[in-house]
């Protein structure tokens, strides 16, 4: 018999006995059980969250001022957003004037990072 069924049975007995003290005691146990079940659910969810974070952090590599997931060479993620908020935010590849390498720009926190990756494009303006 599960805990909920046991309590239902106790409730039935307490109701049948017409003893208000017994009934109150059973209701108190029931109230506490609901609270414990809710706490249990919250803890399970938190454990799952932490396990997912752990799997993810094992999967991430840091290079060129960004994080990458294994097998995703061209998809850099923002260092700040992951370190601070545990969020993977894909960085935009941008090319600044008079630059020879790509600049990564985060659409979320708006930080920019020098990637050190050459773009081989002429970014000089001629007048
Ligand atoms: Zn960011």
Q: What is the pLDDT of residues 22-70, one digit of tens each?
A: 889 999 999 999 999 999 999 999 999 999 889 888 999 999 999 999 9
Write down the pTM of the prediction: 0.65
Instruction: Let me know if 73 is exposed, middle or buried by CB neighbors in 10 A (0-12, 13-18, 19+).
Output: exposed
C-alpha 116 – ligand 1 centre gap (Å): 18
Residue pair 43/90 in contact (Cβ under 8 Å)? The answer is no
How many whole angstroms from 82 Cα to the centroid of ligand 1?
Answer: 7
Whole-number Å distance, alpha carbon 81 to ligand 1 midpoint, is: 4
pLDDT > 70 fraction of the chain, expressed in percent and rounded: 100
Buried b or exposed e, range 32-52, using 16+ CB within 10 angstroms: eeeeeeeeeeeeeeeeeeeee
In the reported structure, the alpha carbon of residue 119 is separated from the centroid of ligand 1 by a whole-number distance in angstroms of 22
- The neighbour count for residue 25, using CB atoms within 10 Å, is 13
């Amino acid at each position: 018999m599960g805990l909920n069924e046991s309590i239902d049975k106790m409730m039935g007995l307490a109701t049948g006995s017409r003893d208000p003290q017994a009934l109150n005691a059973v209701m108190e146990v029931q109230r506490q059980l609901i609270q414990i079940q809710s706490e249990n659910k919250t803890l399970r969810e938190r454990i799952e969250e932490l396990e997912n974070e752990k799997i993810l952090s094992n999967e991430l590599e840091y290079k060129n001022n960004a994080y990458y997931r294994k097998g995703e060479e061209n998809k850099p993620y923002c260092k700040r957003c992951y370190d601070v908020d545990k969020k993977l935010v894909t960085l935009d590849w941008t090319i600044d004037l008079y630059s020879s390498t790509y600049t990564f720009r985060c659409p979320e926190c708006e930080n920019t990072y020098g990637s050190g990756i050459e773009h081989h494009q002429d970014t000089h303006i001629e007048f």
